[in-house]
Amino acid sequence: MTIEILLPIGLAFIMFAIGLGLHLRDFTRVLRQPRALAAGLANQLVLLPLLAAILVTLYGGAPVFALGIMALAACPGGITSNLLTVLAGGNAALSVSMTAISSLAGILTIPLILGLSQGLLLGESQTVALPLGQILGGVFGVTGVPIALGMVLNHNAPRFSMAIRGACRFLATCAFIAIVIGAFLGQRETMMAHIADLGPYVLALNLGTMAMGLLTARLLGLDLADTVTIAMEAGLQNAALAIFIATTLLGLPEMVVPAILYALIMNLSAAALIAWARAGAPANARVAG
């Protein structure tokens, strides 16, 4: 019962911390940066789930793990994506806009992707009960509402919001780490038993989506800052939300295994991307406010 209460509270605080850094203009930046933002959202909301679907069709393991991969791919960017984008010399404004739009879009896309996954990928013989209405309400409650509250505070009390933003981001990061560690401790035996067969697919999902971000940005002729941003945002998923969906909304604690593995892998790949970007052309990196 304690976990069932603390997990949504921790996740809601993470999303509130994200909201503290958002403005309404972050949702309209597509009008001023149409190519970069459209490319980023296409990678985040379309190409990432498609890649996950391909990997799931190749995966021959337990259907609950396959559903966990799809849940992870449906989740928006993570709490640290904006900070790591800046460290890599990326476009901070683009990163914030992608986080904002994908987080709110997830209220609808997560139930949609999970519903399609149930019928098209897992098959009727491997059915997992999906209360889509409960998923929609749960995701809205722990993402949409806290983000909106953070944005309202940021709009009405910008100085106060600025003063507490750093501390809230730090506490949110700690909450994310605590959620992942807690999920790991609860499922460590299951994870260790399946890391050999599931790990390569989770690794392929992370590296594949970051590679697609780099490729699509380059094909569109975007600069290094936008390219790094798109790859970073696409590769860093909100694993805490995937864990919440699995444990609290679906009651399938073993479904968190892909999210735990991904949370470990994505930070390593993000560090590699930062190193590559900094060694490449730091003079060309553009950090937007």
Q: What is the CATH number of the domain that holds 224?
A: 1.20.1530.20
pLDDT score of 289: 36
Residue 287 lies in a domain: no
pLDDT band at 121 (very low <50, low <70, confident <90, very high): low
Cα angle 59-65-67, degrees, rounded to a multiple of 5: 95
Q: CB under 8 Å to 281, separation ≥6 — which residues? A: 224
Residue 77 phi, psi (nearest 5):
-65, 160
| Residues 15/139, Cβ–Cβ less than 8 Å | no
**Which residue from 11, 26, 118 is spatially nearest to 67, judged by alpha carbons?**
118
Question: Considering only 5-9, 88-92, 257-261, which range has the smallest mean pLDDT?
Answer: 5-9
pLDDT band at 48 (very low <50, low <70, confident <90, very high): very high
Using DSSP, state whether 107 is helix, strand or coil: helix
Using DSSP, state whether 245 is helix, strand or coil: helix
Q: Which helix (H) or strand (E) holds 96?
A: helix 92-116
| Residues 70/121, Cβ–Cβ less than 8 Å | yes
pTM of this prediction?
Answer: 0.81
- β partners of residue 77: 237
* Total structural domains within the chain: 1
Residue 18 lies in a domain: yes
Q: CB under 8 Å to 70, separation ≥6 — which residues? A: 49, 52, 53, 56, 113, 114, 117, 121
Residue 95 lies in a domain: yes
Q: Which amino acid is at 160?
A: F
pLDDT band at 201 (very low <50, low <70, confident <90, very high): very high
Report how far residue 40's alpha carbon sits from residue 56's, in angstroms, rounded to the nearest whole number.
Answer: 23
Give the distance, in angstroms, between the CA of residue 199 and the centroid of all CA atoms in the same chain: 18
Residue 195 lies in a domain: yes
Using DSSP, state whether 152 is helix, strand or coil: helix
- β partners of residue 237: 77
Residue predicted with more confidence, 218 or 250: 218
Residue 252 lies in a domain: yes
Q: Interhelix angle for 48-58 vs 158-219, to 10°?
A: 60
Give the residue-averaged pLDDT of 214-228.
91
pLDDT band at 123 (very low <50, low <70, confident <90, very high): low
Domain range enclosing 65: 2-275
**Which residue from 29, 39, 12 is spatially nearest to 226, judged by alpha carbons?**
39
Residue 289 lies in a domain: no
Report how far residue 153's alpha carbon sits from residue 162's, in angstroms, rounded to the nearest whole number.
Answer: 10
In the DSSP assignment, the letter for residue 236 is -
Residue 91 lies in a domain: yes
pLDDT score of 88: 86
* pLDDT at 69 exceeding the cut of 90: yes
Cα angle 207-209-210, degrees, rounded to a multiple of 5: 65
Q: CB under 8 Å to 69, separation ≥6 — which residues? A: 52, 55, 56, 59, 201, 202, 205, 258
Residue 121 lies in a domain: yes
